[in-house]
Structure 1
């Protein structure tokens, strides 16, 4: 799987996140070529659980234990990009279908993004973190094949 320079592979598992829990703010079931593109869900970033530094996010951050969002994706040849728009500084943390962790901060201003050049089919669990225990309301997660 090719992952662009927007994200670095986290070889260590994020220790406090439980991808077996139900996502707090919703999920998508998407098949490659989905419309409309992008799809999005809204939630709140941050939490009371600190995750340790991961490649791409050397300082770690604060998240909820359960994923904020979940995407079940049936892949084809298109790349898949996850990005965040929020009124505060956020971090994007993703566990992919193979169990690999990816983290990104500040791709577009203070907003993070992770692009999978050759995404795998399966479950993507997504957390949107903050640098402290604060919560950032009106945080949107976008999923696109076009960006």
Structure 2
């Protein structure tokens, strides 16, 4: 009874769109809302190094474990002079992004949360959100924004 009341309250408090998990999105510059939020569950059994094809990228180390299939595909319909993807989770997560021009990884963009920011070419980007322990699964959100942060962290594309 308490669980159904809590679930009902959460469902009423949040728009239906925010309930979607593992959503794929298509965006253009000046998208709205900004930040755009997508949700998922991190983790898997595949080492991030295997998915990325290396141990480190210019944006950070390829660490943790991901699922074989990407959590999201983000289709960029035009060039972005600046776009940031920032993961927020109650647990320490990692990210692997593969698309036009290469593959990028990150561990700690802001605190324990991973992210990647900078210029992005048009095209499809596969996004994996990883967990540090194999087959450990944690909820997360990814905030996508064109707004530059005052302190964006040490890793940028």
Q: What TM-score do the two structures reach when normalised by structure 2?
A: 0.71
By percentage of residues, which structure has more helix?
Answer: 2
Q: Does 1:46 align with 2:43?
A: yes
- Could you report, residue by residue, the CA deviation over 1:28-63 in whole angstroms, capped at 9, with x for unpaired residues? 1101111110111111011111132233115x2200
The offset of 1:93, in angstroms, is 0.7
Report the Cα distance in structure 2 between the residues aligned to 1:93 and 1:106, rounded to whole angstroms: 12
Q: Compared with structure 1, are the counterparts of its residues 54 and 38 closer, same or farther at alpha carbon in structure 2 (3 Å cutoff)?
A: same
> Helix, strand or coil for the counterpart of 1:111?
coil
Equivalent in the alignment of 1:78? 81
Report the Cα distance in structure 2 between the residues aligned to 1:67 and 1:77, rounded to whole angstroms: 22
- Work out which of the two has the higher radius of gyration on C-alpha atoms and give 1 or 2: 2
Report the Cα distance in structure 1 between the residues aligned to 2:48 and 2:110, rounded to whole angstroms: 22
Equivalent in the alignment of 2:70? 67
Trace 1:54-133 onto structure 2 (pairs within 5 A). Answer: 54-55=56-57, 56-57=60-61, 60-76=63-79, 78-98=81-101, 100-116=102-118, 118-133=119-134
Q: Compared with structure 1, are the counterparts of its residues 42 and 79 closer, same or farther at alpha carbon in structure 2 (3 Å cutoff)?
A: same
> Helix, strand or coil for the counterpart of 2:100?
coil
Quick check: 2:80–2:121 contact (8 Å CA) kept in 1?
no
Report the Cα distance in structure 1 between the residues aligned to 2:71 and 2:120, rounded to whole angstroms: 20
Q: How many residues align?
A: 120
Q: Compared with structure 1, are the counterparts of its residues 92 and 51 closer, same or farther at alpha carbon in structure 2 (3 Å cutoff)?
A: closer
Trace 1:8-19 onto structure 2 (pairs within 5 A). Answer: none
Unaligned 5+ runs, structure 1: 1-23
Higher RCO structure, 1 or 2 (CA under 8 Å, sep 6+): 1
Q: What TM-score do the two structures reach when normalised by structure 1?
A: 0.76
